[in-house]
Amino acid sequence: MLATLLLLADACASFWGAMTRPSNVGVGVRAVEWLRDNGAAALVSDVEAVYYSLTAPSTGGPALKALPKVGVAGAGTSTYAPPPIRPLIYPPLPGEGVWRGTGPLVRGAPAVLVTTFRPDPDYPQMVAGVAWIDTARAWLQLYPGRYEPPNSVGAPAEVPLQLRSRLLAAFNSGFKLEDASGGFVAFGHVYAPLKDGQATLIRYRDGSANVLAWSGGPDPGPDVEFARQNLPLIVDGGRLNPNLGDGPEWGATLGNAVRVWRSGVGVDARGDILYAAADDQTAASLAAVLQRAGAVRAMELDINSDWVTFNFYGALDAGSPQKLLPDMNRDATRYLTPDDRDFLAVYVRNE
């Protein structure tokens, strides 16, 4: 009896600590995360799977009459812009798959472009948002969050004030490391060793970035600025991973088949970065979105409405923040204050 009471007291103290520590997510989300971390992950996953199956979207239905407006008209003419994303549903809606500008011009044109399109004829009301980042005019940085990775004590967990004058965008990273089956390296520190074969978003010291299957051992060495791993590649060589089936490989909590908010990042044939996100996606349908947007390699990032975020800024100094998709759950100012999870920021690159 005494042992039971001690265990209960310890659990209560742990739960109370999780509920009262600083956080930028609601109590409900923190409670679910605490359950996952304290032996109830399978139960939470089962409950979520039932909920999402009951609320899964139905095929068919009326088509949309308009797409959400994101960005500003025009992609600039003084530098390269990717070709429009070819629509899947005809007739296309005005602006569907057409790239639009964001924020200040960098050498004559926006370095971050955004667009929306309907990715699945069976679900004509679904909308995917895609962002393209020109790595010749912008650079990425990975930042540890307040609690993720777990050993990131003392990390600022927000876009540094001194760099906001060059900030173009910020977006979510991958799964919690315990679910990601991979490594985490940033600012010269190996928070978790890299694993060969895992999908990796990487930036080198020269500013170039890539998405690839890692094969360099646990420590990336001095030429790598950051590396963030998350599961296997979902697109490789321009083709969908043939193993995009249901199972824990695509997320220990929900797998592949459950339709939820999902996000991913890829690289196109030119070496530029693509980010994509949409509600009601499987890992396979997310991969198809990135493939259609031009990704030759791509990986899944975080999932669920509380974690999927892409914000861009209409002006320097984090001015006029906007969401990639208006129904993304978190505020457009996310990452301008301390965040619980790691994230990526996009900055103007010096010539």
Do both 35 and 178 map to the same domain?
no
Are 164 and 306 part of one and the same domain?
yes
Q: What is the DSSP string of 246-313?
A: SSGGG-TTTTTTS-EEEEEEEEETTS-EEEEEEEEE-HHHHHHHHHHHTEEEEEEEEESTTT--EEEE
Does 95 reside within a domain? no
Residue 153 has pLDDT above 80, yes or no: no
Q: Is residue 85 part of a domain?
A: no
When comparing pLDDT for 33 and 108, which is higher? 108
pTM more than 0.85: yes
In a domain? residue 62:
no
Q: Is residue 92 in a domain?
A: no
90 within domain boundaries: no
Are 169 and 226 members of one domain? yes
Please tell me whether residues 267 and 191 are part of one structural domain.
Answer: yes
Interatomic CA distance for residues 136 and 142, integer angstroms:
18
- Residue 26's domain comprises 2-54
Query: Within this chain, do residues 158 and 17 fall inside the same structural domain, yes or no?
Result: no
> Which pLDDT value is given to residue 154?
76
Domain shared by 131 and 49, yes or no:
no
Q: What is the band of 54 on the pLDDT scale with cuts at 50, 70, 90?
A: low
**Shared-domain flag, residues 219 and 290:** yes
116 and 41 within one domain:
no
Coil vs helix vs strand at 197: coil
Determine the Cα–Cα distance for residues 208 and 96; give it in Å rounded to an integer.
29
109 with 182, same domain: the answer is yes
- 50 and 139 within one domain: no
Examine residue 258 and state whether it is found in any structural domain, yes or no: yes
**Segment 61-105, tens digit of pLDDT:** 788 889 998 988 765 555 788 999 999 999 999 999 999 999 889
Mean pLDDT of 158-183: 94
pLDDT average, residue stretch 131-156: 92
Residues 114 and 25 in one domain: no
- pLDDT of 308-324, one tens digit each? 999 999 998 999 999 99
Q: Is residue 79 part of a domain?
A: no
Q: Strand order of the sheet with strand 319-323?
A: 138-143, 343-348, 167-172, 310-315, 319-323
* Domain-embedded: residue 59: no
Per the structure, how many domains does the chain have?
A: 2
